[in-house]
C-alpha cells in the first residue's frame, strides 16, 4: 500500500440526548475523521478523543496537532505491506494513542478492501454476531433511570451499565436492581472514587453486579489491586489500560478481573488485538468500550468485537441512540436479541455518507505524497 494522501476532518455533531458521567455532561461531539487514499481505495478511521481532557489527556485539538505535525508527515508517501507496520512508524510519539489509532484504523480499512475480506476477518475475528449492551448516563432520580432501563431492555440489550458518582450511586443501583433482579447489570464510576471510599464500594457486593468499571484514579493500577482484594465485585479497568503491557501488569497484580478495550485508548487495531491476546491467555474476559462514536468509529468497534475473547456484551449500540442521522449507511442496528450481525463485505461493512460528512465538516487538513521527480 502506498499512502497517497491523508485527509483530516473535524465534524460538529450534536448528540440526540445529553450524556452525563462523573466527568461532566456532553451535548455535542467534535468528531475527527481520518481518510486515507492508497492503491485507488479510500479508508476511514475515527479519532475518539473528546473536546475536553477529562476522560484521558487527549483532546480534539491535541489530536489535530499530533496528526498534523507528527503522524501525517511520517506516513504520507510511505509504502507499507500491512497496517500492522504502522505502529513502528509512529513509535517515537509517546502517548496520543487516540490520535495514532484513528490513522492506523483507516489503513486497516484499506487493507481489508485490498484483500477483499471483511475488516473483522482481516484482524482475526471469528464471531458472526456480537452482543450489545448500553451505557446509561447519570439521571436526576432513580425513577427516571428505571424507566430508561426498561426501555433499553425492551429493545433487547443484553447488559445495562449505569454511570455512577458519589451521591448518585447506592440509591440508584439498589432501585434498578430491585426492579430488575435478574438482569446483567454493571456500573462505571470513571475514576470518581478513591481507596478512602472502600466502605461504600464494599456495599456494591450486595447487588450482584457483573462488574464495577474504573472506580479509582485513571492512572493507578496498583490502587485497583488493593481494592480488588477487598471487594467481591469484579473490577473492570478502562482508563488505566493503554497497552498490552498495562493489561499484563494489571492482571498479574490482581487489579481487575475484566478489561474493557477501547480502540482509541490503546492506539488502534494492532495494540487492541495484543491487549485481547494477553487477556485471553490469562482467561480475563474483554468487551468493547465506547466513546460516543460516529458510525465510522462504531464500525471499527464492531469489527474488533468479533475477536474470540470478546465474551461479554460491549458498549456498542445502535446509531439511533446517539444521532438523528449517522454518517454511515445502513446505520448500525441492533436485533431484538441484542446483537449486531457481521457482514462479509470487504472493508468497514458500511458505506460512508460523503455529502453528510461534507455538510458537518468545520475544518480540514490534508497531505499528498510528492509526485516522483524524473531524474
Ligand atoms: O467510560 O465507557 C466510558 C463515554 C465517554 C467517555 C467514557 C465512557 C463513555 C461511555 C459511553 O460509557 C459508551 C458509549 O459509547 O455508548
Ligand atoms: Mg468506562
pLDDT in tens, 229-268: 999 999 999 999 999 999 999 999 999 999 999 999 999 9
Instruction: Please say whether the beta carbons of 98 and 53 come within 8 A.
Output: no
Structural domain span for residue 315: 121-351
State whether 136 and 236 are in the same domain: yes
Is-catalytic flag, 100?
A: no
Q: Among 13, 292, 295, 304, which residue has the most ligand 1 atoms within 8 Å of its CB, making it the best to mutate?
A: 292
Instruction: Please say whether the beta carbons of 95 and 26 come within 8 A.
Output: no
State whether 102 and 131 are in the same domain: no
Question: Distance, CA 145 to ligand 1 centroid (Å)?
Answer: 17
How far apart are the C-alpha atoms of 188 and 21, rounded to whole Å? 9
pLDDT in tens, 31-88: 999 999 999 999 999 999 999 999 999 999 999 999 999 999 999 999 999 999 999 9
CATH number for the domain spanning 128: value is 3.20.20.120
Q: Is residue 305 part of a domain?
A: yes
Does 358 score more than 70 pLDDT? yes
State whether 149 and 21 are in the same domain: no
Q: Is residue 365 part of a domain?
A: no
Sign of CA dihedral 326, 96, 307, 136: negative
pLDDT in tens, 274-319: 999 999 999 999 999 999 999 999 999 999 999 999 999 999 999 9
State whether 71 and 134 are in the same domain: no
State whether 87 and 104 are in the same domain: yes
State whether 347 and 278 are in the same domain: yes
Is the CB of residue 157 below 6 angstroms from any atom belonging to ligand 1?
no
Contacts of 199 (CB under 8 A, 6+ apart): none
Is-catalytic flag, 121?
A: no
State whether 137 and 283 are in the same domain: yes
Burial class (CB in 10 A: 0-12, 13-18, 19+), 199: exposed
Is the CB of residue 188 below 6 angstroms from any atom belonging to ligand 1?
yes
Catalytic residue (one of 100, 161, 163, 168): 163
Give CA torsion, residues 190, 195, 197, 198, to 10 deg.
Answer: 110
How far apart are the C-alpha atoms of 251 and 282, rounded to whole Å? 8
Name the residue at shortest CA distance from atom 8 of ligand 1: 291
- On whether the pTM is more than 0.75, the answer is yes
Q: Is residue 264 part of a domain?
A: yes
Instruction: Please say whether the beta carbons of 117 and 37 come within 8 A.
Output: no
Question: Distance, CA 239 to ligand 2 centroid (Å)?
Answer: 7
Q: Is residue 367 part of a domain?
A: no
State whether 161 and 108 are in the same domain: no
Domains of the chain: total: 2
State whether 64 and 204 are in the same domain: no
State whether 93 and 172 are in the same domain: no
Amino acid at each position: 500500500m502506498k499512502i497517497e494522501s491523508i485527509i483530516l476532518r473535524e465534524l460538529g455533531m450534536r448528540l440526540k440526548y445529553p450524556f452525563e458521567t462523573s466527568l461532566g455532561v456532553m451535548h455535542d461531539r467534535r468528531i475527527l475523521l481520518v481518510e486515507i487514499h492508497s492503491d485507488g481505495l479510500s479508508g476511514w478511521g475515527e479519532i475518539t478523543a473528546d473536546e475536553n481532557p477529562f476522560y484521558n489527556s487527549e483532546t480534539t485539538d491535541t489530536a489535530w496537532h499530533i496528526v498534523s505535525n507528527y503522524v501525517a508527515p511520517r506516513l504520507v508517501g510511505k509504502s507499507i505491506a500491512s497496517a500492522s507496520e504502522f505502529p513502528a512508524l509512529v513509535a517515537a510519539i509517546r502517548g496520543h494513542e487516540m490520535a495514532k489509532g484513528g490513522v492506523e484504523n483507516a489503513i486497516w480499512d484499506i487493507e481489508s478492501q485490498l484483500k477483499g475480506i471483511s475488516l473483522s476477518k482481516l484482524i482475526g475475528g471469528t464471531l458472526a454476531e456480537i452482543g450489545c449492551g448500553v451505557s446509561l448516563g447519570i439521571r436526576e432520580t432513580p425513577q427516571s433511570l428505571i424507566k430508561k432501563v426498561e426501555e433499553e431492555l425492551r429493545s433487547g440489550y443484553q447488559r445495562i451499565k449505569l454511570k455512577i458518582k458519589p451521591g448518585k450511586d447506592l440509591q440508584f443501583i439498589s432501585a434498578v436492581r430491585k426492579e430488575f433482579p435478574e438482569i446483567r447489570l454493571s456500573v462505571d464510576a470513571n475514576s470518581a472514587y478513591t481507596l478512602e471510599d472502600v466502605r461504600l464500594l464494599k456495599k456494591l457486593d450486595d447487588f450482584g453486579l457483573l462488574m464495577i468499571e474504573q472506580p479509582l484514579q485513571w492512572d493507578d493500577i496498583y490502587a485497583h489491586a488493593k481494592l480488588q482484594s477487598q471487594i467481591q465485585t469484579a473490577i473492570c479497568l478502562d482508563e488505566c489500560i493503554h497497552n498490552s503491557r498495562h493489561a499484563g501488569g494489571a492482571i498479574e497484580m490482581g487489579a481487575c478481573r475484566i478489561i474493557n478495550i477501547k480502540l482509541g485508548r490503546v492506539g488502534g487495531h494492532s495494540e487492541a488485538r495484543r491487549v485481547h491476546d494477553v487477556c485471553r491467555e490469562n482467561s480475563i474476559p474483554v468487551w468493547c468500550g465506547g466513546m460516543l462514536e460516529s458510525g465510522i468509529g462504531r464500525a471499527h468497534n464492531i469489527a474488533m468485537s468479533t475477536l474470540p475473547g470478546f465474551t461479554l456484551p460491549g458498549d456498542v449500540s445502535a446509531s439511533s441512540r446517539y444521532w438523528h442521522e449517522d454518517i454511515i449507511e445502513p446505520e448500525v442496528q441492533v436485533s431484538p436479541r441484542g446483537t449486531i450481525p457481521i457482514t462479509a463485505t470487504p472493508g468497514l461493512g458500511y458505506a460512508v455518507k460523503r455529502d453528510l460528512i461534507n455538510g458537518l465538516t468545520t475544518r480540514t487538513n490534508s497531505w499528498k505524497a510528492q509526485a516522483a521527480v524524473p531524474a
